């Protein structure tokens, strides 16, 4: 399983700002190694964010997103103690899911 994500979710007024750092190579499939061989594409394709189990955001990513991606978004109506879950699936079918509590 890939390295864990770092998730921070902080309340600001009537919403919570969620910041996520994901650990992923995000290989575009365009690069060549020193031997001239193409490094295979390997990148996150689907991202899902859930607030207390309800999906609030989905995203479809491609090779344009850089290595160790940083994602930031707001969730309306989130309160202290609520659970935020972030999940991703990459083009190889590997997955990762992590959660954080809104503070």
Partner 1 sequence: MSHPSDATALKTILIASAMLASLAAGAQTKSTADGIAEYRKMLEDGNPAELFEAKGEALWKQRRGPKNASLEQCDLGKGPGVVKGAWVEMPRHFADTGRVQDLESRLLTCMETLQGFNAAEIAKTPFGRGEQSNVTALATWIAGSSRGMKFNLPQGHAEERRSYELGKRAFFFRGGPMDFSCATCHSEEGKRIRLQDLPVLTKNPGDGLGFAAWPAYRVSNGEMWSMQLRLNDCFRQQRFPFPGFASEATIALGSYMGVNAKGAVSIAPAIKR
Q: Which residues bind partner 1 (CB under 8 A)?
A: 3-4, 6, 19, 21, 23, 47, 57-59, 66-68, 70-74
Closest contact distance (angstroms) between CB of 49 and partner 1 is 9
13 dihedral zone (left: phi>0; alpha: psi -120 to 50; beta): left
d(CA 90, CA 42): 7
Burial degree of 54 (CB within 10 A; 0-12, 13-18, 19+): exposed
- Rank residues 70 and 101 by Cβ distance to partner 1 and give the closer one: 70
- Rank residues 21 and 41 by Cβ distance to partner 1 and give the closer one: 21
SS (H, E, C) 49-99: EEECCEEEEEEECCCCCCCCCEEEEEEECCCCCCEEEEEEEECCCCEEEEE
Closest contact distance (angstroms) between CB of 50 and partner 1 is 13
Closest contact distance (angstroms) between CB of 51 and partner 1 is 12
Closest contact distance (angstroms) between CB of 56 and partner 1 is 8
- Rank residues 21 and 89 by Cβ distance to partner 1 and give the closer one: 21
- Rank residues 47 and 84 by Cβ distance to partner 1 and give the closer one: 47
């Amino acid at each position: 399983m890939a390295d864990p994500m770092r998730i921070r979710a902080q309340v600001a007024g009537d919403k919570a700002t969620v910041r996520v750092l994901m650990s992923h190579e995000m290989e575009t499939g365009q690069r060549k190694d020193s031997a001239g061989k193409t490094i295979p594409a390997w990148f996150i394709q689907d991202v899902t964010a859930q607030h207390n189990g309800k999906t609030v955001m989905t995203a479809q990513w491609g090779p344009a997103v850089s290595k160790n991606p940083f994602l930031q978004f707001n969730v309306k109506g989130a309160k202290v103690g609520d659970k935020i879950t972030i999940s991703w699936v990459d083009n190889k079918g590997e997955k990762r899911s992590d959660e954080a509590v809104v503070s």
